[in-house]
Amino acid sequence: MEPMTTASTVSPWDDAIFWEGVDGGRLLLARCARCSRIQHPPSPMCPSCGSVSWDVQESSGKGRLHSWIVSHHPSRPDAEPRVVVLVDLDDGVRFVSNLHNVQLDEIQVDMPVEVTFQLVGDTVLPLFTRPGGGT
C-alpha cells in the first residue's frame, strides 16, 4: 500500500453503502446514525460523535460545478480526454467525478449539474451532466 494515496483508497467495508447505491442507480451518502453528520468520502467512525453506526441518505444528485480539469496526461492519455470535476452537491458534500456530455467550451465554474449513472469500461460510475442532460 502506498502511503501517499492511502486516504483515497476505497475500503470494501467502509464504502460498501455507496457502491451498492450506485449499482442500484442511486447516490447514497453515509449519514451518522447517532448525530446525522454526512461523511463523504465515508469513514468507519463519525468524526463528530465517535459512532460506528451509519444510515444512508439519498442525495438529490443535484449540485454545482466547483472546479474542473482536463485529464489527458501526455505520456499515457485516455483515448478521449476526460473532464474531471469537483461537484458541490446540494447535500453539502463535495464529490469528485467526470463531466458527461458537455463540450469543453460550455464548462463554467458554478454551473448547475446533476448525477447520471454511466458505464465506464465495465463499471457503472456516478457522473455529472447538465440538468436533464443524462441519457
Partner 1 sequence: MTRSPHHQAAIVGIGQTEFSKRSGRSELQLAVEAARAALDDAGLRPADVDGLVTFDIDSNDETAVVRSVGMTEVRWTSRTPQGGAGSVATLQHAAAAVASGAADVVVIYRAFNERSGRRYGQPGAFGGRRTRDWHRAYGLDTPAQQFALWFQRYMHMYGVTNADFGRYGVVARQHAATNPNAWFYQRPITLEDHQRSRWIVEPILRLLDCCQESDGGVACVVTSPERARDLRHPVVLIEGATQSNPTDGYVTTNYYHQDLTRYPEAESVAAQLWKSTGLGPGDIDVAMLYDAFSPVVFYQLEAFGFCGRGEAGDFIADGNIQLGGRLPVNTNGGLLGEAYIHGMNNIAEAVRQLRGTAVNQVPRAEHVLCSSGRSAAVLGRG
51 scored as a contact of partner 1 (CB under 8 A): no
Which residue lies nearer to partner 1 by CB, 19 or 90?
19
Which residue lies nearer to partner 1 by CB, 6 or 53?
6
Which element (helix H / strand E) includes 19?
Answer: helix 16-23
CA distances from 75 to 4, 71, 72, 78, 106 (A): 21, 12, 9, 10, 27
Q: Give the three-class secondary structure for 128.
A: strand
Per-residue string for binding with partner 1, 20-39, x by CB under 8 A? --------------------
Query: Cis before residue 41, ω within 30 degrees of 0?
Result: yes
- What single-letter amino acid sits at 107? I
Which residue lies nearer to partner 1 by CB, 60 or 71?
71
- As given in the structure block, the three cell numbers for residue 96 are 469528485
Go through the chain and tell me how many residues it has: 135
9 scored as a contact of partner 1 (CB under 8 A): yes
Which residue lies nearer to partner 1 by CB, 37 or 62?
37
Residues near partner 1, by CB under 8 A: 2-5, 7-10, 19, 40-41, 47, 66-76, 78, 82, 84, 86, 94, 96-98, 109, 120-123, 125
